A and B are shown apart, each in its own frame.
Chain A
């Protein structure tokens, strides 16, 4: 069994409640930080830990904290990004639902490190019952003296509240999240200025993912160096992986970074292999935005090395033969899945979620969806495949926020690795009329038809 940092107490009966959480050693990091450390000491430990942002981008958390503007003298804020909505990702919900005090403890310790006296947890509106769980947990923590004025008699004040969104993927982008927290539409802001200088109500603000903040108590209780001992190279610590799709045991798993993809996928401790005993066709390892990998690039990199669950190994080979760890949304496809249909589905998602500010994304995501839909429905043209490639390449890098990139990458990767499947759809429209077209006749069985036609 590998080491658990976030989920080690998840099965303790009653861990959702303050009493049990406290009895199990909860809130120790607040005591330690407030009574025996300076804010800078906490930042230093987090830097040493090598902890990287768990929302998807993987930016070093300690470094992000060190950017916060302390010179201006303005109030500072910590905002927790609990707007989890990347398709394939459902780990933050698991933490908040089953061990809510871990996040609250992390928020207090982290807010202290940043010198923030007013912090928020921004949770997606669909997780309304989790919003209520957090509200109650905050009230419990406050009643026990962990929040409010002069916490533990140290002179440190903190107000913590939970704020709910209302159904907008874009609010997971940190500046859109801040806009939304200010009661506005979730339109991302142009950077710079970065939130660390001008964020919530134009005050210096740090936005961190739930899982990132939940790792801070362990780092403070033990040490940054101890955390850095787990994992491989710059991928330190543990990571929550949300597994879904055609696997035997879908769910949320805490792994030590560095576990092999093969072991995660096939061992009984984790996913237990495919649910259907059908062949593995493809994998999206880090949420819908990251490039999809074909079967031959999942367990081994293009160089023939074992593919590991680390930031570096999953991106080995760049976009040509690699992908990304992203948010840890691990989506597994067997041979009944249609890559064209799946790509259309993702494009529909991004079209729906585009905020509409930037033309390339607002229009481009709609074009991607339409062209993919006509290919999937037997009305595609040969030149549509190149058209898709052209559209995605014109969205990528040309938008204020990364939603444009996130919409482009899945399309580019699908064409890069599964071009023949697109060609099959275009050339044999009568064979793909039924939406389950690969269930009885997986692509491997009909691939030869494409080969015959290629001149």
Chain B
């Protein structure tokens, strides 16, 4: 795995550690590793939505597994980000059913409005636009995921409003 040069400040707060221990308690005592995915989600949410090598090593230590066991999982699942990303990541579902209802045009519109291409972050680090595969909201297309939530039945007007709300710090990303 390529070593990243991005620095990440690791802050395992008491709240975070309590939540991690609660998640670990959901599995038998000798099966701590099973908590890996839920724990990675929690740790990532508490660290600007990405995982550095150092942070993954920390998770390995907590779950008493080898660092490689964390890396191989973090690289397999698309929801784990291995480098810093935009604070507000617009993840548009671009699978067929959403495309039938205009996703591609809406993605073009959003990219143009933010002045970025797909997969790029705005220079202020606020926004990133991505195309992802089916999010299970086909009947409410076009749609996107923003943090822990879905934004559905999207239109250009709703995109404008969302961008404005993000800039005004009105968007809640995680349900804690």
Contact = CB atoms under 8 A, between A and B. Distances in A.
A86 B95 CA distance: 10
Interface in A297-334: 329, 331, 333
Contact of B78 (A168, A337, A342): A168
A183 interface: yes
Interface string B99-138: 1110010000000000000000000000000001111111
A102 B140 CA distance: 23
Contacts of A186: 76-77
Contacts of A84: 136
A185 B96 contact: no
A126 B77 contact: no
Given A164-B38, A244-B138, A125 B79 contact: yes
Given A129-B149, A161-B26, A166 B136 contact: no
Contacts of A125: 37, 41, 77, 79
A87 B95 contact: yes
Interface string B127-166: 0000011111111110001001110000000000000000
B138 A349 contact: no
A84 B37 CA distance: 17
Contact of B69 (A90, A168, A183, A333): A183
B139 A252 contact: yes
Contacts of A349: 95-96, 133-134
Nearest to A245: B100
Given A90-B138, A132-B175, A166 B77 contact: yes
A244 B41 contact: no
A435 interface: yes
Given A246-B100, A331-B97, A345-B95, A126 B79 contact: yes
Q: How large is the interface on A (under 10, 10 to 19, 20 to 34, 35 or more residues)?
A: 35 or more
B89 interface: no
A348 B99 CA distance: 13
Contact of B134 (A87, A250, A435): A87
Contact of B97 (A129, A161, A245): A245
Interface residues of B, number: 46
Given A182-B33, A185-B73, A164 B41 contact: yes
Contact of A250 (B26, B28, B31, B139): B139
A140 interface: no
Most buried by A among B28, B37, B72: B37
B60 to A, nearest CB: 11
A14 interface: no
B148 A165 contact: no
A87 B97 contact: yes
Contacts of A184: 33, 69, 72-73
Interface in A232-257: 242-246, 250-252
A304 B56 CA distance: 60
Given A87-B96, A168-B78, A329 B138 contact: yes
A429 interface: no
Interface string A129-143: 100100000000000
Contacts of A396: none
A186 B27 CA distance: 18
Nearest to B153: A250
18 contacts: A85-B136, A88-B96, A90-B139, A90-B140, A163-B26, A163-B34, A166-B77, A182-B33, A184-B69, A242-B139, A244-B138, A244-B139, A246-B100, A345-B94, A346-B96, A349-B96, A349-B133, A355-B76
Interface of B: 26-28, 31, 33-38, 40-41, 63, 65, 69, 72-73, 76-80, 94-97, 99-101, 104, 132-141, 145, 148-150, 174-175
Interface of A: 84-90, 93, 118, 124-129, 132, 161, 163-169, 180-186, 201, 242-246, 250-252, 288, 329, 331, 333, 337, 341-342, 345-346, 348-349, 352-353, 355, 435
